[in-house]
Amino acid sequence: MLFPQHIIARKRDGHALSRGEIGSFVHGATNGSWADYQLSALLMAIYIRGMTPTETALYTEAMMNSGVVADLSSVKRPKADKHSTGGVGDKISLHLAPMVAACGVAVPMISGRGLGHTGGTLDKLESIPGFRVNLSMAEYRAELEQIGVSLIGQTAELAPSDKKLYALRDVTATVECIPLICGSILAKKLAEGIDVLVLDVKFGRGAFMKDKTKARELAEALVSVAKAMGKPTRAVMTAMEQPLGRNVGNALEVIESIECLKGHGPADTMEVTYALGEQMLLLTKTAATQAEARSLLEQSVSSGAALTKFRELISAQGGDARVVDDVALLPQARLKVPLTAARAGFITDVDAMAVALAALRLGAGRAKAEDRVDHAVGFSALVKVGERVEAGAPLALIHANDEQALADAKAMLEEAVVIGDAPGVIVPLIDELIG
């Protein structure tokens, strides 16, 4: 019999936990046999004492097996997914998934909602009228068999232990613990039924991991654990100092993703998209070289195949595919007000986190899990670092549904965008490849 207090004491004293001890902990979180105070005590002990790579892999495996692991053996194409640690204006999944699917790779993608400054992938998708993210596992599998791509929310059957443990981590100051982060991310991703995984690990002001050294540590841990569990994985480290692309806000980011699929996406958004897509095609052996992978992805856009795949995805999940050709069908804000430059000069800074908080003030994200997201609000046509502007020129268009929120967000955005006499330093977007 493994008693919770004995397992807690062993980790408190710095010992590595066995498969059985870790299994007891995860099982206890799933079925309620461990009290919340016991789960919290072990979470804090892990936060302080850490976990060995073997422990982290065992923890991730136990979390993954706490629920159903999707069987996608009926999907004959290679299966790849991408996960981002989150950033401001990060709408990459929306257009990357159909691009990669158009290249012949199945993309089973189970995503989350946003908690914090901006909406998550599911919030963006739900701005499309009728779009269903709550598919059953049978519907998920059928969609992948038929069109090769599915973007859904986490089902109750997938890694149920994570829901319980994440909620406790959130209120016990144990969120920023790399072994626990690895378990949370990988348990869900590896339960999707994928063959390979590509990770976008962000660092900088608008990222979850602001410090580049800590972000690299996380990337290395994620790749190591996933490989230990038999899944070829690579991580691309990307900078998140200014928002990605020019639109921030759920429906506005859908519009930008549609532009990407039509070949008119912002340069920075497409740079990250191609970097991640190339690794998905290389890991699945769909392409032999980076140049070949890039060419396939570019062809998926130029031929219209990726846009067609996005239409198919929307239709398959109950959405109105006409939005691809008429973005006015997406939610529209009542108020649209430009922020203009007070002086001429160069954009020297666009603080990603400050922009995110301004979007949150408009209602684009959630301060609390139960908050309702306003899909219409946010910013479009946002300037980028290094651009020249004249006095009175627009720096962004603010989309709002509330006058006070508009006034507050405008003041916050004025602080976020800095104009100087010389171009600012542009931080390279793609930093390094791990794995």
Catalytic center residues:
83, 162, 169, 184, 188
- Residue 409 to residue 212: CA distance in whole angstroms: 29
Please return the burial class of 156, using the count of CB atoms within 10 Å of its CB with bins 0-12, 13-18 and 19+: exposed
Residue 387 CA to chain centroid, in angstroms?
A: 27
Question: How much of the chain is helix, strand and coil, in % rounded to 5?
Answer: 45, 15, 35
The three-state secondary structure class of 107 is: strand
Three-state DSSP at 408 gives helix
Can you read off the two tokens belonging to residue 322? 């006409």
Residue type, 217: E
- For β-strands 196-203 and 233-239, DSSP reports them as parallel
CA distances from 402 to 333, 374, 399, 409 (A): 9, 11, 10, 10
Of 315, 330, 353, residue with least CA distance to 123: 330
- Taking residue 214's Cβ as centre, other Cβ atoms within 10 Å add up to 15
* 292, two tokens: 């070949």
CB 25 within 8 A of CB 168: no
Q: Which residues contact 94 (CB under 8 A, 6 or more apart)?
A: 121, 124, 125, 151, 253, 254, 257, 310
Orientation of helix 160-171 relative to helix 53-64, angle to 10°: 120
